[in-house]
Structure 1
Amino acid sequence: MDFVSIRIIAGDINRLVGFYEKITGVQATWGNEDFAELRTAHGTLAIGSTRTVPLFAPGSARPADNHTVIIEFLVPDVDALYEKLKTVVEDFVNEPTTMPWGNRALLFRDPDGNLVNFFTPVTPEATEKFGR
């Protein structure tokens, strides 16, 4: 088995794809007007419109209703990125904070309220774990 992607269902797919393109610097690949992917070296963030939900199972997913998942991105320098994101992100949950497990993390919400974590390993153990 191989983990491939996580998909967000969006009420306004253009707004959400645009947001993720701005914060990640990754250009989305559009499959059609209802589906886009932001591909990185180790995973894909897929974004689908609400019109894709009935293709899987009607009523099985709702946009802007996530209260359990944090979408995480490994970044080279979370502190520098935080300064750049201040013009894009409206809802910061915290400022860059060093976590007990050795990552310096920045938590914020995307326009649909999904939690996003940008983090940089800062301890030798965390750096070794994420040394890519």
Structure 2
Amino acid sequence: MTSPTTPRFDLVGLVVSDLAASLAFYRRLGLEFPEGAESAPHVEAELPGGLRLALDTEETIRSFRPGWQPPVGGGRIGLAFLCDGPAGVDATYEELVAAGYEGELKPFDAPWGMRYAVVQDPDGNGVDLFARADGV
């Protein structure tokens, strides 16, 4: 008789409206997806520590959950990217906004000791950019 094992956290999944737009956004943040992924229904990028980020099109989700609809209101998931110091937060924020992504929260020195900003991905998910304010 085998004993049950504890599940291991392995993947963060996002359902996206426009796969090509989402790939472009997350590639700007350094994630690597396979070439030609724009035409796939499901793609993954390996994250540090062995976790994975998966992007699925709305059509993919509806293929096995026919009545699925995107949640209303957003703000249900948060992804955070550690930048190379406070100047890195500012530069990454400016680069993404200049590329046409919506800045949700301009860079500021947060009371918890971080330089912090938020940019929205193509589906309106807030993506945090942060670094320790002292640059260490």
- Smaller-chain TM-score range? 0.7 to 0.9
Question: Aligned match of 2:114 in 84, 97, 103?
Answer: 103
Kindly name which structure, 1 or 2, has the bigger radius of gyration based on alpha carbons.
Answer: 2
Match of 2:44 in 1: 37
Post-superposition shift, 1:80?
A: 2.6
> Aligned residue pairs: how many?
124
Shift of 1:108: 1.4
Q: CA-to-partner distance for each residue in 1:11-67, whole Å, 9 max, x for gaps?
A: 221121122112x1222134x710112322133321101122145533345278623
CA distance in structure 1 between the aligned counterparts of 2:66 and 2:16, rounded to whole angstroms: 15
Contact 1:89/1:108 (8 A) holds in 2:
no
Counterpart in 1 of 2:77? 69
1:15 and 2:10 equivalent? no
Identity of aligned residues (%): 27
TM-score (norm 2): 0.73
TM-score after normalising by structure 1: 0.75
Listed as ranges, the gaps of 5+ residues in structure 1 are: 128-132
SS at 1:105 equivalent? strand
Q: Relative to 1, partners in 2 of residues 1:100 and 1:3: Cα closer, same or farther, differing over 3 Å?
A: farther
Query: Residues of 1 paired with 2:65 and 2:117: CA distance?
Result: 34
Instruction: Give the CA deviation at 1:111.
Output: 1.5
RMSD of equivalent CA atoms: 2.7
